[in-house]
A and B are shown apart, each in its own frame.
Chain A
Amino acid sequence: GAVVSQHPSWVICKSGTSVKIECRSLDFQATTMFWYRQFPKQSLMLMATSNEGSKATYEQGVEKDKFLINHASLTLSTLTVTSAHPEDSSFYICSARDSGGASYNEQFFGPGTRLTVL
């Protein structure tokens, strides 16, 4: 149980284009999902908290118009990197909390998406 998928696993795009990344909880419902960014050999940096049916909460320094988040259902959140530039190249990881699980704030992570912007 507690499986989270991400799609695509990797994407290469040209500068100026937009890229959408999907995060799905496969066997549980998640009212809250999280989007992280990770640089090589570093820890995870929280970008935003995605709340089902409401607006996402962004961390300080993260542009909400640049990183659009939609959480339209209890099993799907999407992150769209708009007008991507080379500096947006990174490993993006989502996680989800099991709404029906224990209240220990356990997060289950997707396998990540490697974004390369040329």
Chain B
Amino acid sequence: TQLLEQSPQFLSIQEGENLTVYCNSSSVFSSLQWYRQEPGEGPVLLVTVVTGGEVKKLKRLTFQFGDARKDSSLHITAAQPGDTGLYLCAASGEYGNKLVFGAGTILRVKS
């Protein structure tokens, strides 16, 4: 069974601070996605990383896929209250179409 460990589980920071969320596994994944979810809504896809060592930027968000495709990180620079939400990493293996989800990180950015 492929497992995806996500940390931290909770994060409460002040506006303007930086933060990093990690997603780790002992398995190799063919692709990894990061989603953001607000209460009462479905997850929204932020990014997909496919290549080992890949770095993608989305405004103040930087996503990195590990060289071995076993881990990923999401870094937010100068967090804003609008970044508050549940962040989920999800990945799929070489032969499956199901996504394995991390436990999620609840981020709260205080103004």
Contacts and interface: CB of A to CB of B under 8 A. Distances in A.
Interface of A: 2, 4, 6, 32, 34, 41-44, 46, 49, 91, 93, 95, 97, 104-112, 114
Interface in B67-86: 86
24 contacts: A4-B42, A6-B42, A41-B104, A43-B88, A43-B103, A44-B43, A46-B98, A46-B99, A49-B98, A93-B42, A93-B43, A104-B31, A104-B33, A104-B50, A104-B92, A105-B30, A105-B33, A108-B45, A109-B35, A109-B42, A109-B43, A109-B44, A109-B45, A111-B41
Given A104-B31, A109-B43, A42 B104 contact: yes
A42 B59 CA distance: 27
Given A44-B88, A97-B97, A114 B45 contact: no
B contact residues, range: 20 to 34
Interface string B50-67: 100000000000000000
A108 B43 CA distance: 8
Nearest to B92: A105
A4 B44 CA distance: 11
Interface of B: 30-31, 33, 35, 40-45, 48, 50, 86, 88, 90, 92, 97-99, 101-104, 106
Contacts of A95: 42
B4 to A, nearest CB: 9
A44 B90 CA distance: 10
